[in-house]
A = this chain, B = another copy of it.
């Protein structure tokens, strides 16, 4: 399909397009725009296919700078701001990028307000709200919320929450509940700020599971999601997608056989797949990934069960004999976690309709 040497990252553009239009249509029917999280693909080409030039979320300032270079002008940096990073934020604001930062402490709010005043800039900031104890954020009822908002002054742009625990919601009902809770918590925090005379323009929620499960987003102004462009086995494991939606895989070559151990060796180890074993905690542990023929059809029962740096080990789930895979055979590995696997690669080889379409570069670093 392509002539790249293995291992390499392969993107199925048809699946990517289908994943993108499904979520766009769903959020469109709920009347809320998507703010694409670009941290999964870190690719301008992928972002353009989802919504050209639209609002984006980034996980690093390197992403913000890269997408600004490509013309993106509405960028949310959704990791708590470290005060020493504010000069890079200011440089983006001065380029005409609406770069919004995130924080959840008074110390950060003071740093942002002082920096903004000293620079004669508005540094738009969202307050991170904790909706499920997953990571950072203040609780909506926390007495510290309003003081943070007041300290930010004119820099206050709104609130943000992320239902990180939705990755562990295993039924449609649990997913919908996580989406409802994410909305309720964000809207409650916005209401508290407004009730105290503060402006709260943005009410930002999102995760790939809740974005798909939401049925009512009243009061929410935007939804963040990123993983859905590729999906992965963790998302399939919680029922947000099926294995037919997996748009990212790693192409590997068979380099050895161990009939006595019923194993096949490939040239794709953890350097190519990452060490992410996200399905280990799920009902079905998929090892380092499911194995498919180069054309995309799954090889039933075959898993990548082991990895050294540049060696992959394939074996069967039930111990039945591994299929005949001659030395030199190319296979696809569908990974646990697209964000982590993509990060091991500098580019994507892209296919559409089974034929090569393009090579897309990928950003890394901070």
A interface residues with partner B (beta carbon < 8 Å): 5-8, 39, 59-61, 79-85, 88, 104-105, 107-108, 111, 133, 135-136, 164, 253-258, 261, 265, 267, 270-272, 274-277, 308-311, 313, 326-328, 339-340, 343-346, 364-366
Contacts and interface: CB of A to CB of B under 8 A. Distances in A.
Nearest to A255: B80
B256 A104 contact: yes
B136 A105 contact: no
A147 to B, nearest CB: 15
B59 A310 contact: yes
12 contacts: A5-B85, A7-B366, A39-B310, A59-B310, A60-B310, A82-B255, A82-B328, A84-B253, A108-B256, A270-B340, A275-B275, A275-B340
B327 A366 contact: no
B253 A327 contact: no
A135 B313 CA distance: 8
Contacts of A346: 364-365
A25 to B, nearest CB: 27
Interface SS of chain A: helix, strand, loop or mixed?
A: loop
Nearest to A306: B135
Nearest to A88: B5
Given A82-B6, A82-B255, A265-B136, A343 B344 contact: yes
A79 B310 contact: yes
A8 B366 contact: yes
Contacts of A133: 261
A64 to B, nearest CB: 12
A308 B164 contact: yes
Nearest to A37: B309
Contact of A256 (B5, B136, B275): B136
A267 B108 CA distance: 14
A265 B135 contact: yes
Contacts of A270: 276, 340
Nearest to A85: B5
A327 B261 CA distance: 52
B253 A135 contact: no
A261 B130 CA distance: 13
A365 B5 CA distance: 10
A148 B67 CA distance: 53
Contacts of A79: 255, 267, 310-311
Nearest to A261: B133
Contacts of A327: 82-83, 105, 107-108, 111
A311 B344 CA distance: 18
A345 B343 CA distance: 11
A366 B8 CA distance: 8
Nearest to A79: B310
Contacts of A308: 135, 164
A364 B344 CA distance: 9
B136 A311 contact: yes
A307 to B, nearest CB: 10
Contact of A309 (B84, B85, B311, B339): B339
